[in-house]
Structures are given as C-alpha cells and as structure tokens.
Structure 1
Amino acid sequence: MTDASRATAPSVPPAPVDTDRVLGRATRRLLGDLVLRLVLIAALIAVSTVLTRTGTWDSPVLSLFPVAAVFLALFTCYRFVFNVRLGKLRTVLRNYPLEFRPRVTRKEADTWTKYGTSFTLKISGGGQGPTPWVRAVNVIGRRRWPKEAENGAWVAGDPAFGGILVVPGTEEALFLEIAKRDKAARAREEAGPERRARAEQAGLVRKHS
C-alpha cells in the first residue's frame, strides 16, 4: 500500500456489506467460470468433429483439439473443489461479524498456489493491537489482487485461527490465515477454549486438532 493510498483511505467505514449478497456473488462468479469452461470444451469438440467430417481442414493439429478438451474437462472437475470452500465461507460469515479494518498493506511477494495466488497482507486499525502478517487467497481461486482492498476492508474471524476478508464495492472474498506457521501455532495455543470452540464451529480449525 503506497503513501498516496493511505492518504486517501476513508476515515469512516463504507456501507456495511450484506453477507447473503457476498455469498451470492461468490457463487455466481464460480458458476460463471465453470460455464465458460464447459462452453470451451463443447466448442473444441464440435469444431474438431465438424472439420474432420467435412474435410474442411485436414491437418494433424485437429487431433490436438480433443486432447485440449480432455485437459480442460479435468481442470473443470478440479474447480468443483471450490464449492466446498463456498461452504466454509458461509460458515465463517454466520459465526463471526464483519468488522471494518481501515488499513490493508500488501507485501510485494505473491505466491502461486493451486488454490489461487497467495497475497501477504498486514491488516490493522479498528482499535486492534499489533497484528501479524497474514496470507490471503481468493475464495474461488481468482488470482487478481483486488486493489479496492487497499483503502480498507471488512474482516470476519479470529486472528489466531483465520477468517475472511471482504472487499468493499466488489465484495470479493478472501480466506485469511497467519503467514508464519510458528506464529500461528503459538497464537492458537494462547487462545482460550471459548475462542477455539467458536473457531471449530466456524470451520476454521478441525475439532480436537
């Protein structure tokens, strides 16, 4: 986050977001991604079939179309794993309120993961004490950094166990967890039984783990 963006950060929180709308948008975005992939698969198969039967284009390249369709189909099946993550998003938002944090600092050291790009953030303000660096990954696996979050964002969860960041305006949702494993383990050990029980109920930690 630049000095200029800090200077333009809002002094008051934006209008509260509706959790049902956040869930609805995430679901529609995921379904949109899946539909687009299914359309591409159908197009690859259809084009290959038509050109082969009509002899319009007699080229070895045509044999690559079905192969590409198969790989795209496998990747599309893999994308269905994000439906499970939508369930986790719903559970967290039902167990923790969204609270506005006026300062979101992003470290320029993004990491590529199979679940989406991992962004390293420092989220502070809102009367909170010192906060650790956290990793943030888009709930539905999108890799673009939502720049709108640099002027503040809504956060739900427990710093020790993780949570959700919701971007004002676009209402994109990202999962959060402490970036360093040793700090995360220490923070969880220091959390009381009430906080741990709530985190378990929200699906942020496995029961009895």
Structure 2
Amino acid sequence: MAYDSRNLASLKAPDVAQVLKANRLVLVRIMTVRLLITVLLVAFSVTLSRMTESNSIFLTLPIVAGVFVFIATAYRLIYGIRVSRCARVLRDYPLEFHPRVIKKHERWTQYGNVYEVRVTTRGQHGAPLMLAVNAAGRRRWPEGVEEGGWLAGDLPFGGVLVVPGSNAMLFLKPADWDKTARKREEAGAERTARAERAKLNDRTQWAVMMRGLGA
C-alpha cells in the first residue's frame, strides 16, 4: 500500500505492548522447537541403543547432532537481549511513521540475517545507512516493510522499526558508527540524554546487537 499525505495522518501506531508480546512469543517458539529437537535426537539415540543392545558409534551420531543443536540454541539466546533492548527503546521514544524503507543489501551471520537499509524521512535528505536485524530471531525480510514502517529512536544513534500489520520488529544501528559520530555530537544535550537512557549511545551495544559481523 502506498501512503500519501492524507492517509498518513490517519495511520494509527501499533500497540507497543502487543508488539513486544508477539516478538517474545516468536522467540519462545523458536527456542522451544530447537530444545525439542535436541531432546528427540538424544532420546532416539538412547532408545535405539537399548533396543538393539548395540554400542555402535553410529548410534551416538544423533546425540552429537543434538549437542550441536543445543549449542546453536544457546547462541540464539542473544535474541533475548535484542528484544529487551528494543523494549527499552520503545519505552523512551514514540513511534513515528516513515513512508519508505529501502533494503540495500543482506548478509547471513550465525546470529541472524543482517540487512543494510535506508529509512527515508519526508522532507529530509541524507538519511544514514543503517544495519537492521530481526529482534526475535526470524531470518526472513519482513513482508511489506518497503512501503513504510513505524520508527522509534534517533537514526544517528539507532532505533527500532516496527512493520505495520505484522508486529515484526527490527533493531537498527548506523552501518558506519564512526561516520555518524559528528551527527551524534551535534545532536544536543536532550537527544543525547535520551539516547543514553535507551542505551543507544554506545558502540559496545552496537557490537552486541549486530554480533556476527565482527564488530
């Protein structure tokens, strides 16, 4: 759906509590499925070994696979941190609609797909290139986000993008933290203090949220 100046004014911001609840449920489902797979692999190996009364090394392969799935699940717990950080941003910043989100590139990392995006702002030029990652752990690009999304945050520092109609939530950080340093320095005391409350004014946080890029 294309948005013009008339229907932009009538848009209703999504319910923040509902968005956070939906993303936490997605995270719980992902983790539950992975843990269930781990348990089933181990149980299959043990059961088969007892039924056949065999000590073959091949019967331990499902256990090895289960261990790898468990380790991967532990790595994915980083998404719990992402959802919590997004909740902090949504608490300190209001949601504002931006009519266009342009995806430039996409890359796979062990912690999730990371997208290079540009969030356009009506009447403004030079929007910084941002890195975006799904807060709850899904790897697919949210459908419909190119036609606009609800942004909470301050682009030189980072923020959260909520996709209309789906509750999908992307955490954003400047793609080049050093290049946007001047804009943060010129932001003023009020904007800087707000970013600090939301834990956005921190390069260490950039590395945690975008882990897998070697940041």
Smaller-chain TM-score bracket: 0.7 to 0.9
Asked if 1:76 corresponds to 2:69, the answer is no
Equivalent residue, structure 2, for 1:181: 177
User: How far off its partner does 1:166 sit?
Assistant: 0.5
Equivalent residue, structure 2, for 1:4: none
Give the aligned length: 200
Query: Percentage identity across aligned positions?
Result: 43
TM-score (norm. length: structure 2): 0.85
Equivalent residue, structure 1, for 2:208: none
Range 42-51 or range 124-133, more displaced: 124-133
Asked if structure 2 preserves the Cα contact closer than 8 Å seen for 1:100 and 1:152, the reply is yes
- The counterpart of 1:94, out of the listed 84, 88, 91, is 91
TM-score (norm. length: structure 1): 0.87
Matches within 5 A, 1:4-43: 8-11=1-4, 12-13=7-8, 14-43=11-40
User: How far off its partner does 1:61 sit?
Assistant: 3.2
Asked if structure 2 preserves the Cα contact closer than 8 Å seen for 1:45 and 1:66, the reply is yes
**2:128 is paired with a residue of what secondary structure?**
coil
Structure 2 CA distance for aligned equivalents of residues 28 and 15 of structure 1:
23
Structure 1, unmatched stretches of 5+, are 1-7
Structure 2 CA distance for aligned equivalents of residues 43 and 31 of structure 1:
18
Amino acid at match of 1:9: A
Give the root-mean-square deviation of aligned CA atoms. Answer: 2.2
Structure 1 180/62 Cα, relative in aligned 2: closer, same or farther at 3 Å? same
- 1:27-84 alpha-carbon deviations (Å, 9 max, x no partner): 0000000110111011101111111111199864322111111111112122222222
Equivalent residue, structure 2, for 1:122: 118
- The counterpart of 2:100, out of the listed 103, 119, 124, is 103
Structure 1 outlier segments of 4+, above 4 Å: 56-60
Asked if 1:163 corresponds to 2:159, the answer is yes
Structure 2 CA distance for aligned equivalents of residues 21 and 57 of structure 1:
52
Structure 2 CA distance for aligned equivalents of residues 51 and 185 of structure 1:
59
